Amino acid sequence: MPVNSVSFLNLTPLRDEVKSVIEEVLEEGVFMNGKYLNRFKDSFSTYLKQDYVIPTANCTDSLEIILRSLEIKKGDEVITTAFSWFSDASVIQLLGAEIAFCDIDLNHFGIQISELEERISTKTKALILPHLFGLVHPEIEKIASICKKNNIHLIEDCAQAHGASLNGKLVGTFGDVAAFSFYPTKNLGALGDAGAIVTSNQKIAEKCNLWANHGQSGRNNHVQMGRNSRMDELQAAVLSSQLPFLDMNNTKRKKLAMLYYNGLNSLDLVLPMNSKGHVFHQFVIRTDRRDELRKYLLQKEIETDIHYPEALSDMAVFNNSSLCSNALKASKTVLSLPIHPMHTEEEINYVTKSVKLFFKD
Ligand SMILES: Cc1ncc(COP(=O)(O)O)c(C=O)c1O
């Protein structure tokens, strides 16, 4: 059947594995802190080859809990990028610390290294580094060594990059600690909110565990302040059943991305950086005619999205005076084209054909 419309995302139908594991949890009748949570912790820790996985309610909580565990407080500074999802900056401000925004490199949307070195001060305690759109920051090793040299904690935000790698090393294993989101649309998605903290640092793991679980070192033994940020059994079971498909789904995303690269390479637009370990959570192109193109594609019944229409450094809530011109430029020119393992090659070819027509007209 010829394709004449493409939705941005379609999260149905659910795999049989998901349906049957939900049945199992319902029959088990244990909905928190049961065997499925342990199964998820073990399987994710094995996948990442990291010692500790602390499941949480979502990635935003994970980031906040990490900052609390590192004892980030008022008077401290935390560096992050000016172009990402809200959480990377909001958690810093929530704790009363100062946000130091760094501009991005437009080639890969990751933090600009030269700016990072300039922003480090005696007050800097940590860097929250998002690996946006499924691409590990191409200079992550250098960033890790800058952080080490300056005694700054490197927190990787892996919300968009499950299974991504650089030179064979998986995302979430470069820094001191990493945060993951399993929001349903992510490369590894639950059926609601869920998140995790991953580390091989025992001290950080212990602290995060306390912060995520009411400060309890054992049942009813509250040794410090804490939050209630837990992953429930249903989400843990769903995630364990989906994890074995993560690499296969990422390969499918890469295959669809290649259709875009091959089809769009001669047009007047900027394609995303390609690399072997990219897992294409999004396929983000840049063009000065972004809004016009989006409207045109919608007329062809192709849904697109904008990640993100406003730079963090530009948001009034952050009351920040940094000028991050690349982040600003990105917010005005980025367009995310549909890319999901559920999409067919015919659908991606229809998008490609329509984008070409737009630039020809
Ligand atoms: C880069 C990034 N960081 C953090 C988050 C927050 O994740 P959650 O919705 O699980 O709190 C997201 C979610 O979209 C994200 O994309």
Q: 160 and 289, same structural domain?
A: no
pLDDT of residue 43: 98
Q: How much is the pTM?
A: 0.98
181 CA distance to ligand 1 middle (Å): 6
Task: Please say whether the beta carbons of 108 and 86 come within 8 A.
Answer: no
Q: Does a structural domain hold residue 9?
A: no
- Ligand 1: which of 9, 58, 59, 229 to mutate, judged by most atoms within 8 Å of the beta carbon? 59
Q: Does a structural domain hold residue 7?
A: no
Q: 278 and 237, same structural domain?
A: no
Q: Does a structural domain hold residue 8?
A: no
Domain count, the chain: 2
Residue 303 clears pLDDT 90, i.e. is over it: yes
Q: Locate tokens 């049945």: which residue? A: 23
Q: 220 and 103, same structural domain?
A: yes
267 CA distance to ligand 1 middle (Å): 32
Residue 1 clears pLDDT 90, i.e. is over it: no
Phi-psi region of 327 (alpha: psi -120 to 50; beta: other; left: phi over 0): alpha
Q: 257 and 225, same structural domain?
A: no
134 CA distance to ligand 1 middle (Å): 13
DSSP assignment string, 159-223: TT-TT-EETTEETTSSSSEEEEE--TTSSS--SS--EEEEES-HHHHHHHHHHHBTTEEETTEE-
pLDDT of residue 235: 98
pLDDT band at 13 (very low <50, low <70, confident <90, very high): confident
Percent of the chain past pLDDT 70, that is, above it, reads 100
Residue 21 clears pLDDT 80, i.e. is over it: yes
Q: 222 and 73, same structural domain?
A: yes
Q: 193 and 257, same structural domain?
A: no
Taking residues 154-183, report their average pLDDT: 98
pLDDT of residue 10: 87
> Which residue is closest in CA terms to ligand 1's atom 8?
59
Phi-psi region of 169 (alpha: psi -120 to 50; beta: other; left: phi over 0): beta
Residue 2 clears pLDDT 90, i.e. is over it: no
Q: 260 and 179, same structural domain?
A: no
Q: Does a structural domain hold residue 1?
A: no
> Which residue is closest in CA terms to ligand 1's atom 14?
85
**Buried/exposed 279-306: b ≥16 CB within 10 Å, e otherwise:** bbbbbbbbbeebeebbebbeebebbbbb
Taking only the tens place, the pLDDT of each residue in 233-251 is: 999 999 999 999 999 999 9
Residue 105 clears pLDDT 90, i.e. is over it: yes
pLDDT of residue 48: 98
Q: 287 and 211, same structural domain?
A: no
pLDDT band at 321 (very low <50, low <70, confident <90, very high): confident
**What is d(CA 251, CA 45) in angstroms, rounded to the nearest whole number?**
21
62 CA distance to ligand 1 middle (Å): 10
Least confident of 13-22, 141-150, 273-282: 13-22
11 CA distance to ligand 1 middle (Å): 18
Phi-psi region of 296 (alpha: psi -120 to 50; beta: other; left: phi over 0): alpha
pLDDT of residue 225: 97
- Ligand 1: which of 66, 136, 181, 229 to mutate, judged by most atoms within 8 Å of the beta carbon? 181
Q: Answer with the one of 209, 225, 243 that is the final residue of a domain.
A: 243
- Ligand 1: which of 84, 85, 197 to mutate, judged by most atoms within 8 Å of the beta carbon? 85
Q: 100 and 47, same structural domain?
A: yes
Domain CATH number, residue 295? 3.90.1150.10
Taking only the tens place, the pLDDT of each residue in 194-230 is: 999 999 999 999 999 999 999 999 999 999 999 999 9
Taking residues 266-281, report their average pLDDT: 97
Q: List all residues whose CB is within 6 A of at least one atom of ligand 1.
A: 58-60, 84-85, 87-88, 130, 157, 159-160, 181, 183, 193, 195
pLDDT of residue 345: 97
Domain CATH number, residue 88? 3.40.640.10
Q: 195 and 69, same structural domain?
A: yes
Taking only the tens place, the pLDDT of each residue in 51-84 is: 999 999 999 999 999 999 999 999 999 999 999 9
Reading the block at residue 165, the tokens are 């790698």
Q: What is the mean pLDDT of the chain?
A: 97
361 CA distance to ligand 1 middle (Å): 37
pLDDT of residue 232: 98
Q: Locate tokens 């993100």: which residue? A: 308
Full residue range of the structural domain in which residue 144 is found: 16-243
